[in-house]
Amino acid sequence: MDTHAYPVTRTDAEWRARLTPEQYAVMRNHGTERPGSCALLYEKRAGTFSCVGCDQPLFESKLKFESGTGWPSFNDPVPGSVETTVDRSYGMVRTECHCARCGSHLGHVFEDGPPPTGLRYCINGVALKFEPAA
């Protein structure tokens, strides 16, 4: 059980009222959206991707890239916005990433991304909202 205290907390009822059923399944129950199903996969404008759960800015569009996986992928998050934990579900070991402000599950981090970080933050699009640059 996760005992980490996050700056933004909500009751289960508040989460269910704030999120769609798909967002709730992904963000609160560590689910995964169907690959290729989110419009944000194709978003190419300049701007910021934020957490649907708490509005925390997570990723800048300049660090988004096409990974071919079916999920939005980024080199690096906004500093301090994302935390990671070890995910041992489904008989494998992966690095889960979640919002540092509300703890919502975002996706996973893999070490097969492009330079300069070599990381691929593979993020469920339903966990994100996009704000175009002004």
Residue 54 a catalytic site member: no
Choose the catalytic residue: 38, 97, 99, 122.
Answer: 122
Q: How are beta strands 64-65 and 57-60 bridged, if at all? A: unpaired
Half-sphere CA count of 3, side-chain side, radius 13 A: 0
CA–CA distance, 104 with 97 (Å, rounded to integer): 9
Catalytically active residues are 122
